[in-house]
Chain A
Amino acid sequence: MNCEENNEKKENSFYVDSDKLSEKALEKKHRLENDPSSRTDPFEYMEGMERIDSNIMNQVISQMDSYDYSKYTAQDVLYALQKETCDIEDFKALLSPAAAPFLEQMARKAKLETSKHFGNTVYLFTPLYIANYCENYCVYCGFNCYNDIKRKKLSTEEIEHEMKVIADSGIEEILMLTGESKTMSDIHYIGEACKLAKKYFRNIGLEIYPVNSEDYAYLHECGADYVTVFQETYDAAKYETLHLMGHKRVWPYRFEAQERAILGGMRGVGFSALLGLADFRKDALASALHVYYLQRKYPHVEYSLSCPRLRPIINNDKINPLEVHEKELCQVICAYRIFLPYIGITVSSREQEHFRNGIAKIAATKISAGVSTGIGDHESKYTGTEEANSEGDEQFEISDGRSFDQMYADMSNEGLQPVLNDYVYV
């Protein structure tokens, strides 16, 4: 093996051609993949996209661009660990490779910070996917419009049935998700789902395509109070090569989603980069600073960060998070906690049982249970009955399939106090 080969950076190969695509569709797909000039400008807002006056994006980007993590030393890390308050410079040190040997110390500090703000509680919730239609071509996502999967949109009756099954299991907090299709899952469809959710759950979060502030206000009226939008990557140049088509391609509109949700009256907003898509240290820095600067501007809002890594999808089981191993993920989560002690940190079922148990004792405050990322399959999953053919396919493969009861018991056995909701809607 020669040196060049050895140094070559590993990349995921995302492109998959379904044999069900027409020749014309394939041709368009290949053009989008291979010819950057065939793609739209990711900085150009599409018609109907609201623009807000905000300097948050510039602040985050300038910090991220100037972040040279190779310059931090062990001394910087030790200094950051002994300080009472962690500032941006300290956080940069904690995210750097120099912090790797100090992971145990970081975990101890993170645990202390978590316990100051959350005691030993851990919140349990479940996601409910109500539709998987999507108009975007995001190359790493199982829902992407070129991926050959079973599509499904739940009817109101089906949504209610799913909710009943989930609520019967004991869960009180729900996160509703859709694929990103404004035509198949329009805002009123989602609003109606929120109204239904009010009947069965105490706390309703949404993870849907970004919308304008007036739409967020409408969804808030319908009962939703938390909005999560994953930026996927804060590296706009990389983003452009991964989100080849659809409204999701517009990077700044997505970036400003949480701020629009706040303007629409939502109580809480969630953020994340999908680690493994680009330089994870820079993405982690930008995710946390996105929260940091918004918190200073809107101090009344509740903030949370998720920490997903890339996962295999249907028709592409090779996708993986590259250099973001469990150790690196743990470092990122500990650094988040030390820098932003007051925020919620969610660790999804993309991670395995041993990791979720371990990280819940250090820094995570929110864990999903009884998870399915498919559409309309809660009954079969929860009761163990055979899968019906009418279900929609999953967004990604989960790694921790524990039921709500099992998770509740496991968290209690780990010495944590599971909390089902801690919330009032006003």
Chain B
Amino acid sequence: MADTFTLGGKEFSSRFILGSGKYSMELIRAAVEQAEAQIITLAVRRTNTKENENILDYIPENVTLLPNTSGARNAKEAVRIARMAREIGCGDFVKVEIMRDSKYLLPDNQETILATKMLADEGFVVLPYMYPDLYAARALEEAGAAAIMPLAAPIGSNKGLATKEFIQILIDETDLPVIVDAGIGRPSQACEAMEMGAAAIMANTAIATAKDVPAMAEAFKNAIIAGRKGYLAGIGRVLERGASASDPLTGFLRD
């Protein structure tokens, strides 16, 4: 049986979601190819009439576009951006990102829940970027999210799984796919998140800022596959050091 996961009725075999920021157009193409990514995120911005280069020309046909709502500071703005993204005409996936803090760029869970509800009601496939909080995750599930995207560390920080314990709780307690987003700086960190049972990894800065972009995209791809296989295989036994010498606990049993 193929190991796939489903978002909004679409089945994906690649568990690597690639961000397309901070690259030249040519490098985006190379990165997507080496990553074998099936989902790529995009932002919505005012159209520049001077440069007629369209990013869509650099993204392979069969890749699902995941526009984000970056720039939104509240639910209403996120909904407006999502509607514009859908109107451009590349499907109804949307990654809700709402930040009201320009220093750390941390997502605002409350506004994100509101936006998720409004967009899901309008038929969007909503993937909210969130701070890994169990109550927020449940509210997002209730609101109709297709997956949740908790942050591993502050965006662009490359610090890895700073929120590991909390992401594990989300993986254990919600029925939605958990896509670890933001802060993943190295292939080994992506691998670790997959070993924990994450459904997918979203990364951008780590690849875009590497010395060799296509090579790093490939390294992430392999790390994600390795982590997923490790998860499915069942992480092995860690030997406990030192024997416990106390009396048996079950010595009292009779019949």
State yes or no: do A and B touch (Cβ within 8 Å): yes
Interface residues of A (CB under 8 A from B): 78-79, 82-83, 85, 103-104, 107-108, 111, 296, 299, 325-327, 330, 352, 354-355, 357-358, 361-362
Question: Can you name 12 extra interface pairs (CB under 8 A) apart from A85-B168, A299-B134, A326-B253?
Answer: A78-B237, A103-B250, A104-B249, A108-B244, A111-B249, A296-B175, A327-B250, A330-B253, A357-B252, A358-B250, A358-B251, A358-B253
Q: Is the interface of B mostly helix, strand, loop or mixed?
A: loop
Residues A325 and B255 in contact, CB atoms below 8 Å apart: yes
CB distance from B61 to the nearest CB of A (A): 39
Q: How many B residues touch A, CB cutoff 8 Å?
A: 19
Interface SS of chain A: helix
- Known contacts A78-B237, A82-B237, A107 near B249 by CB under 8 Å: yes
Contact A104 B255 (CB under 8 A): no
Whether the pair A327, B253 counts as a contact (CB closer than 8 A) is yes
- The answer to the question of B138 belonging to the interface, with a C-beta cut-off of 8 Å to chain A, is yes
B254 on the interface (CB 8 Å rule)?
Answer: yes
B85 to chain A, nearest CB (A): 33
In the complex, whether B172 has a CB less than 8 A from a CB of chain A is yes
* Closest residue on chain B to residue A327 by CB atoms: B253
CB <8 Å contact, B248 and A104? yes
| Chain B residue with Cβ nearest A361 | B249
A90 to chain B, nearest CB (A): 10
- Check if B238 sits within 8 Å of A82, measured CB to CB: yes
Which residues of chain B come closer than 8 Å to A355, judged between CB atoms?
Answer: 252-254
19 cross-chain CB contacts under 8 A: A82-B238, A83-B235, A104-B249, A296-B175, A299-B138, A299-B173, A325-B255, A326-B253, A326-B254, A327-B253, A330-B250, A330-B253, A354-B252, A355-B252, A355-B253, A358-B250, A358-B251, A358-B252, A362-B249
- Contacting residues, chain A, for B248 (C-beta < 8 A): 104, 107
Chain B 213-230, CB within 8 Å of chain A: the 1/0 string?
000000000000000000
Q: Which residues of A contact B134 (CB under 8 A)?
A: 299
By a CB distance below 8 angstroms, the chain B residues around A103 are: 250
Nearest chain B CB to A339's CB is how many angstroms away?
Answer: 12
Of chain B, the residue at the smallest CB distance from A321 is B255
Contact A296–B249 (Cβ < 8 Å) = no
Report the nearest A residue to B237, measured CB to CB: A82
Closest to A325 in B: B255
Chain B residues contacting A104 (CB-CB under 8 Å) are 248-250
Asked if B234 lies at the interface with its beta carbon under 8 angstroms from chain A, I say yes
